[in-house]
């Protein structure tokens, strides 16, 4: 059951990442948000022992941090 949840979570993250880039060339802010969410979700999942709440929390924190880094790069 745990392995299926991990695969489903990864597939959902990849699908979200792929669907954001369909309309135009992504900005650094968009890339940072998506990348941060994926990395944060993976770290949250590992740190919480596979907890769904840990994965979602990590993705949220990673997305916010990635958004900020990307926004600052776009401002240069």
Q: pLDDT, tens digit, for every residue of 9-61?
A: 777 777 776 666 566 788 899 889 999 998 999 999 999 998 889 998 999 99
| Cα distance between residue 69 and residue 4, in whole Å | 32
pTM of the model: 0.69
Predicted pLDDT at 8: 75
CA angle in degrees (0–180, nearest 5) for 57-60-66: 135
Predicted pLDDT at 10: 74
Is the predicted pLDDT of residue 72 greater than 80, yes or no?
yes
Cβ atoms of 47 and 29 closer than 8 Å: no
Domain boundaries, given as residue ranges, for the chain:
2-20+27-75
């Amino acid at each position: 059951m745990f392995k299926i949840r991990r695969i489903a979570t990864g597939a959902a993250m990849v699908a979200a990442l792929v669907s954001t880039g369909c309309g135009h060339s992504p900005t650094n802010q968009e890339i940072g948000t998506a990348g941060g969410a994926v990395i944060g979700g993976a770290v949250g999942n590992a740190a919480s022992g596979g907890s769904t709440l840990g994965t979602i929390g990590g993705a949220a924190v990673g997305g916010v941090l990635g958004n900020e880094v990307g926004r600052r790069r776009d401002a240069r």
